A and B are shown apart, each in its own frame.
Chain A
Amino acid sequence: MAETHNLQDLQHQAAVASKVYVQRDYNSGTICRFQTKFPSELESRVDRQQFEETMQTLNNLYAEAEKIGGKSYLEGCLACMTAYTIFLCMETHYEKVLKKIARFIKEQNEKIYAPLGLLLTDPIERGLRVVEITIFEDRSIGSGR
């Protein structure tokens, strides 16, 4: 796809300066939630509010995936009655939301972060442990700001 080709070009042209890792926030328990605290390394790169908005939306999406309510009970009971064979043909609710999250991150990268020389990595590629933000040196890209 043209968009990913541009991102790969970005990676090849600009050297990787450093990586910042946003850790998980366990204050609400074991649910998947990332810290919204603004990392100091990004001070000069991106707007604080924009970043916090991205993280909050990401957290909301994960909360939607892990929500325990009527829908998850129904899915669980139906799956149990079929001895969980239904998961061989059907996608789970969590997997559907993960695809939504992948699309969201791609869109955020294209619209906001790539022009600033940053790249967000989907947390699922890091085991849902961290949000990895790669900071590229502003070499071939003209002054973005």
Chain B
Amino acid sequence: MSAVMMTRKVRKWEKLPGKNTFCCDGRVMMARQKGVFYLTLFLIVGTCSLFFAFECPYLAIHLSPAIPVFAILLFFFVMAMLLRTSFSDPGVLLRALPEEATFIEMEIEATNGNVPAGQRPPPRIRNVQINGQIVKLKYCYTCKIFRPPRASHCSICDNCVDRFDHHCPWVGNCVGKRNYRYFYLFTLSLSLLTIYIFTFNIVHVVMRSVNSGFVKTLQDTPGTVLEVLVCFFTLWSVVGLTGFHTYLISLNQTTNEDIKGSWSGKNRVQNPYSHKNIINNCCEVLCGPAYPSVLDRRGLMRDDLPVPTSAAEPATNSNPVPQTTKTTAPLIPNEHTPDDAKPSIADSAIAQAEKRSPSPREEKMPSLPKSPPTPTKVPPLASPETDAEASIIAKVKAL
């Protein structure tokens, strides 16, 4: 019994690869960079505090006490949605264990057949037919899996996420299958809250100015000016974002697919996931089943449990090392990788770079070549986020 008491129970979240931060013993899961998330919190809580302090007493007496009550309910809903989006698992896919990775490797080699020396093996892509549409499943070199349809690898969090939408620095987390509806409800309720506060600020200033004069009103309630400024700028961005996501939901598309132009209609390509009916699409995205997390963050690590291939060291909160470079499997491109495999690797590196864009509602990124004819035509990437990307870029540029 004393031996058991001396060894600390290790929970599975401590050994998870990827660049996530975990809090509350694995209950909370976020991205590593949280600065912008704190700013979001500060802006929302700060503006609402000013509203409750300056406007609400006056409006409750002179108009209706329902106004602050509704504001409080809306504020709590916004905070609940924000925290739910930020703290939950977006739909991270488990990386392949060593035996599974080997099995897939063998399958790939069997499919490619015997490649004579000097010839290049075809890139690692699997074709599936979904609703009459051919969808290509790409192989993720970091997670050693063929990504399910609509999944994508987030380079910031270093995870493959199911139904990847985008990585949002404002909520400090990826937005994926599991937390997309919370994200949407957050933007929607925040739009309503912003409009609500903005409107009642105007009403308050007008009502007070009638009695005391405009300048004296502003002197009495200095918070109003600050609130109006914050709300004005927030309004344009958040309402625009809500509109954009409403459009995406009605078409059952993700931001990632929209940016890449996956279902733009070129070559008669259509979205195979859409029900062709706005109501059905909305219902599936917003009212579909609540998917479980496959990560089992709070489960206890057993000694006999195998560790995923890329976890060379236990993933700690404070200073995790990019673990992709420590794998021994010959899947990360190096000088021995045949040249033909490199465009697809560079392609996935480009796709990962695309996902670093913090505001996906901005104009579409220039369409990058899907499979560049020669690696030298690959456009230069911004500073690489991971060592894996750095090594990929170095190899591509060396060609």
Binding-face segment, B213-221, B279-287, B333-341: B279-287
Q: Is the CB of A132 within 8 A of B163?
A: no
Q: Does A141 contact B (CB under 8 A)?
A: no
- Collect the chain B residues with CB atoms within 8 Å of residue A125's CB: 296
- Stretch from A43-51, A76-84, A108-116 contacting the other chain: A76-84
Query: B107-137: contact bitstring with A at CB < 8 Å (1 yes, 0 no)?
Result: 0000000000000000000001111000101
Measured CB to CB, the closest approach of chain B to A18, in angstroms, equals: 9
Say whether A26 contacts B294, CB under 8 Å: no
Q: Which of A20, A29, A129 contacts B145 (CB 8 A)?
A: A129
B185 touches A80 (CB 8 A): yes
With an 8 A cutoff between CB atoms, is A100 at the interface? Answer: no
Task: Name A residues whose Cβ lies closer than 8 Å to a Cβ of B.
Answer: 19-21, 24, 26-30, 65-68, 72-73, 75-77, 79-80, 83-85, 87, 92-95, 98, 124-130, 132
Q: Which among A28, A84, A95 has the greatest number of chain B C-beta atoms within 10 A?
A: A84
Query: What residue in chain B is nearest A21 (Cβ atoms)?
Result: B103
Contacts of A84 in B (CB 8 A): 80-81, 84, 182
B330 at the interface (CB under 8 A from A): no
Across the interface, B94 reaches (CB within 8 A) one of A30, A92, A95, A126, namely A126
A26 near B128: Cβ-Cβ < 8 Å: yes
Given A26-B148, A30-B149, A72-B288, verify A83-B103 contact (CB < 8 Å). no
Q: Which residue of B lies closest to A71 (CB)?
A: B289
Cβ–Cβ < 8 Å partners of A95 in chain B: 292
Q: B76 contacts which chain A residues (CB < 8 A)?
A: 83
| Complex Cα gap A66–B284 (Å) | 10
CA distance A26 to B76 in the complex (A): 40
A121 to B148, CA, bound (A): 20
Report whether A94 and B80 are in contact in the complex, using a CB–CB cutoff of 8 Å: no
Residue ID in chain A nearest B146 by CB atoms: A23
User: Are A66 and B289 CB-contacts (below 8 A) given A83-B77, A83-B81?
Assistant: yes
Q: Is the CB of A19 within 8 A of B99?
A: yes
A65 CA to B289 CA, complexed, in Å = 8
Contact indicator A127/B93 (Cβ below 8 Å): yes
Which A residues lie within 8 Å of B290 (CB)? 75-76, 79, 87, 92-94
Question: Which of A29, A67, A124 is B131 in contact with, Cβ under 8 Å?
Answer: A29
Instruction: Decide: A73 and B93 in contact? CB cutoff 8 A.
Output: no
Distance between A141 CB and nearest chain B CB, rounded to angstroms = 21
List the A side residues contacting B163 at CB < 8 Å.
30
Minimum C-beta distance from B215 to chain A (A): 41
Please tell me if the beta carbons of B273 and A29 are within 8 angstroms of each other in the complex: yes
CA distance in complex: A93, B287 (Å) = 13
Closest 3 CB pairs of A and B: A127-B94, A76-B287, A83-B80
B233 part of interface (Cβ distance < 8 Å): no
> Which single residue of chain B is at the shortest CB-CB distance from A124?
B294
Tell me the complex Cα distance, A48–B137, Å: 29
For B189, give the chain A residue with the smallest CB separation. A83
B130 touches A72 (CB 8 A): no
